[in-house]
Amino acid sequence: MKEKFAAISGASSGLGKSFAQQLAKQGHNLLLISLPNENLSTLCYELELQYNIKAICYETDLSIKENVWLLTDWINKKYSINILINNAGVGGTKKIEEVSTDYVERIIRVNVLATTILIHRLLPNLKENNEAYILNVSSLAAFSPMGYKTVYPASKSFIYSFSRGLYQELKETNVHVGVVSPGPMKTNGEITRRIEKQGFFGRLTSRKPDDVAAYCLKQLRRKKPVIRVNLLSLIVLHVLPTWITLPILSNKMKGELNVE
């Protein structure tokens, strides 16, 4: 029998790295995927050494469709996966009229196309297991549009909707599909400074990536279709109508850009 692996995209830092560390602690072999030149091989070596598991790295740009096909062909040919975590994502805060077409396309290619194609092409592999899991990382931004961040929330709304539909379609199979919509996480110095600038509410709603990853994996094993890690923010976004949240969040993004 082939050894089982968990495939994680966007695994070199932030939440993806935390998923890798948590699964390694549980003794799970890993296929870690990230952009080139992000020290992914070092992470794999450290996890293998510390937890006595196999950690294989694969560096590629998922915004290029051909790369996604090559990745899935490589996985299906060489490995059996029973966990797929689609964590890779691209965002940004900019005025839509000031960005290039490539900037817009990259968000859609990574957040929407890559996630969808990975699942579509790896699903037969996952279904070969007695139990298998897909976890898609959406965002709190999925629940409210906002100016100056127009494409990103729309792409994450797709991920949330796609995940819920896929869960229903596969619920009678051996593949469970979950989706998580985390809010702000202190993944690096810049993001931490942005969260701190938001004051009390920013600190109240932010989470540590390691805590989010551990909780998500626990809930995924319990076969929860929707994993809620930031209940306060979700309640606010669901209770308040869009005509209230839209200008508030847009002004917040506008403030980050320092535009009039």
- Chain segment 36-50, per-residue pLDDT in tens: 999 999 999 999 999
Residue 108, classified by CB atoms within 10 Å of its CB into exposed (0-12), middle (13-18) or buried (19+), is: middle
Residue 168, classified by CB atoms within 10 Å of its CB into exposed (0-12), middle (13-18) or buried (19+), is: exposed
Q: What is the pLDDT of residue 248?
A: 72
Distance (Å, whole) CA 3 – CA 191: 37
Cβ proximity of 80 and 5 under 8 Å:
yes
Nearest Cα neighbor of 19 from 219, 233, 224, 222 is 219
User: Band of the pLDDT at 200, cuts 50, 70, 90?
Assistant: very low
Residue 67, classified by CB atoms within 10 Å of its CB into exposed (0-12), middle (13-18) or buried (19+), is: middle
Q: What is the pLDDT of residue 222?
A: 97
User: Band of the pLDDT at 188, cuts 50, 70, 90?
Assistant: low
Q: Spell out the residues 6+ positions from residue 199 whose beta carbon is closer than 8 angstroms to its own.
A: none
Identify the weakest region by mean pLDDT among 124-138, 140-154, 184-198: 184-198
pLDDT (average), residues 113-131? 97
Tokens linked to 78: 């060489």
Residue tagged active-site, from 156, 160, 167, 254: 156
What's the half-sphere exposure (Cβ side, CA atoms, 13 Å) at 28?
21
**Domain 4-257, CATH:** 3.40.50.720
Catalytic residue list contains 167 = no
Nearest Cα neighbor of 135 from 2, 6, 12 is 6
Q: Which residue has the higher pLDDT, 184 or 24?
A: 24
pLDDT (average), residues 141-156? 87
Interhelix angle 115-126/151-170, rounded to 10 degrees, is 20
Residue tagged active-site, from 51, 58, 79, 152: 152
Distance (Å, whole) CA 211 – CA 142: 21
Distances (CA, A) of 16 to 23, 168, 185, 255: 11, 25, 12, 28
pLDDT (average), residues 143-168? 92
What is the residue-wise DSSP string for 13-33? SHHHHHHHHHHHHTT-EEEEE
Q: Which residue has the higher pLDDT, 234 or 173?
A: 173
Q: Which residue has the higher pLDDT, 94 or 247?
A: 94
Q: What is the mean pLDDT of the chain?
A: 88
Identify the weakest region by mean pLDDT among 169-173, 198-202, 218-222: 198-202
pLDDT, tens digit, 9 for 90 and up, residues 63-115? 999 999 999 999 999 999 999 999 999 988 888 899 899 999 999 999 999 99
Q: What is the pLDDT of residue 258?
A: 59
Cβ proximity of 245 and 235 under 8 Å:
no
Q: What is the pLDDT of residue 233?
A: 62
C-alpha 100 chain-centroid distance = 24
Catalytic residue list contains 224 = no
Q: What is the pLDDT of residue 91?
A: 87
Tokens linked to 2: 């082939």
Nearest Cα neighbor of 133 from 142, 122, 144 is 122
pLDDT (average), residues 239-245? 71
Identify the weakest region by mean pLDDT among 138-142, 181-185, 188-192: 188-192
Q: Which residue has the higher pLDDT, 241 or 156?
A: 156
